[in-house]
A and B are shown apart, each in its own frame.
Chain A
Amino acid sequence: MTLSTTFARGRPYLVPALLLALAVGLVASQTTRPLALLDMWRPWGEVGTLAVVMTAIMLTGGIDLSVGSMIALASVTLGVVWQAGWSMPWAAAAAIGVGAAAGAINGTLVTIGIAPLVATLATLAFYAGLAMALAQGQRVAGLPADFASLGQGSWLGVPNQLLIFALVWFMGWIVVHHTRFGRYVFALGDNALAAQFAAVPVRAVQWWLYTASGTLAALVAVIYCARSGAVVPNAGAGIELQVIACVVLGGTRVTGGRGGLGRTLLGVAILSLLDIGLQFISGEIRVPWTGFAWQFSANSRLLLIGLLVIGVAVWNERAAAARLRPTAAGGQIR
């Protein structure tokens, strides 16, 4: 392998690696005891868990925009049945069941021929509305303390969220990269029609992925409720952006067929480190010599992340397009 091909193969990782270095540097410059920050990773463990299944979905060329709403719906289910007198384990099971059902509805919509983008955009609104209506707009507070330990506890010093993320990621990695199902995911993302003609069970693959997405969203919802000790009817709103950001930042293509879970791990690391690092920055940032001052806030962080997602998505797609430019004449440039 020549130096130039080595470089070409490594190119997709160039920007993520630079961003990772930047993020690590940012966090390191802000604290002397990075391990003390582990607690700040709890929300990112939740985002990462969702990013695992989102990666698989985006590899098929699909997308699930409704994860945030499914979190809300599952949270509200948990709160409502707990208030009705169910024990916490049963309430959690009910929440997960509802999440799986919501995911299955997404899966069904996609398999009957609605574009995933459109189907999950519709259910994004529908599930959010359902959650709001079920909860009557009220939050449920005072969840039992032993339940809260699920979302606030640690094992060997590692927050539960990160443990769950690690477990889900590993399972996802096996499924996507080392099973027949995973091969089908890539085939489907490259050419859905050819996949059908090659006897790939296209609909089953899609259905299971969206159902898994709903189930994991509900699992995250349970942990989220445990962490915050309360049920909020708009829990998870907007989380899809962070989840998709992790997948895209890692370098999985939005159009499917290329990418993988290793990259998503990288994406989660970058985004979480940047976010945590930026949380230390507060107050004004002065731009030297111009006298311009920027009030840095939570909103600025969101803005930066939005820009980052677009920027990296653009970089990745352009790099991929450069690689995939037609190399043979004739048929391909019609």
Chain B
Amino acid sequence: MLFPTVTFALFFAVVLPLNWLFMPRPARWKIFILAASYFFYGYWDPIFILLLAGSSVFNWTMGAVIHQAQADLVRRTWLAMAVIGNLGLLCYFKYYDFFLSSATNLLDRVGIGISPQIVAITLPIGISFFTFQALSYVIDIYRGSTEPVRLMDFAVFLSFFPHLVAGPIVRASEFLPQLKERHDPRRIDATRAFFLIFIGLFKKVVIANFLATEIVDSVFGSPNQHSALENLVAIYAYAVQIYADFSGYTDIAIGLALLLGFRFPLNFDGPYTATSMQDFWRRWHMTLSRWLRDYLYIPLGGNRGSGGATYRNLMITMLLGGLWHGAAWSFVAWGAIHGGFLSLEHWRRSLRVARGEAEPADTVVTRTARRILTFHVVCFAWVFFRAENFQTAYDVLGRLVSGWGNPSPLVTRSVLLVIALGIGTQYVPKDVLGRVMATFSRFSPVAQGVALGFVLLLIDTLGPSGVAPFIYFQF
């Protein structure tokens, strides 16, 4: 069930009032919201409800036995089993065919021919997200930072439908305490929720879909048939498209959760205003970068060891972060580019510290230069992320050199305007939106509804027909 559809609107129109009717009785509410979430998930393929339920039971059991075990070795053993179980499930569904065909072709090149059984496994939607959430629960129990909860509470946490299929990656420590809170049905932050939902819809339906259909898909489909300018603008357009697509989804998810009485962490914070790659990762898919930092980078040693160890840890983290996105070498290359530039930044910083040099002056000029540089490094990496294979990525980049002087019919004023809108709005100060929301919250419910109805008019009329799946659904 996609968020920007009539089907989901009907689903939510039923769930929202029932949610608040059941809320005073937590036991019944949990059964209700679990059933609603399973219905939402099973709408794609009911068989995968078993997978979600199985993951809930497995991880809850692992959390319980780790908590009960006394000896450190036993606790570690159970933790290892939990990690292997979760990653094994992920590998089977997501990477089995990829590794098998890669290995087959590699062996073939060295003269060893094998004919493995390639089974074309269907990837359950959202598996990367709920697997990481489940792992955070088990690891936090192992670390002693989270207490085990009842199976029903854990199942609700893992399957809560607003975050189920494409994040944000909510941790147990952020969600489970909210199950114990008293949710007051008279104090809902509805204005913020409605703004998030409608801004998210606009980003997805209008901006992301428009750029995809007007330029990105055509250029990345056959880069050599397009001019250098078209290739360049298509790269910028894809940067805006993926931001609008993914942040639009999480905006909607956070807004829906707010209407149901739950708070989710932010996932995006103006990523294209970043002044460095490190800053970018503090603003882009923040819940994933936090997860990778706390459950992979720091356990690997983080930046506590020598310079070499830090670079190794950064590269491992970003390579695996790339592979998390999809079973293809181009995602690994995307991770390698980010890891490489993060290492470069770290090296420059270390060098400066070793020489006793001061931080460079933070002026408007230097900040602007850093933002432009960071944005272009990110765009360079997006080329590999978007391209279907390395050849296409090389074609796109090569065309930037060789394709000048040709006509560029796809570079229209509308495309440039939407790209400028997608980047420019990230620079709007937060208090401006805060003031607008404060004013809106003082309108009567009827006036709010009419205003939002007109926003729906804009979204539906400006958006291309049909709803493309969210890019991050495939991850």
Say whether A and B bind each other.
Answer: no
Give A residues with C-beta under 8 Å from B.
none
Which residues of B are interface residues toward A (Cβ below 8 A)?
none
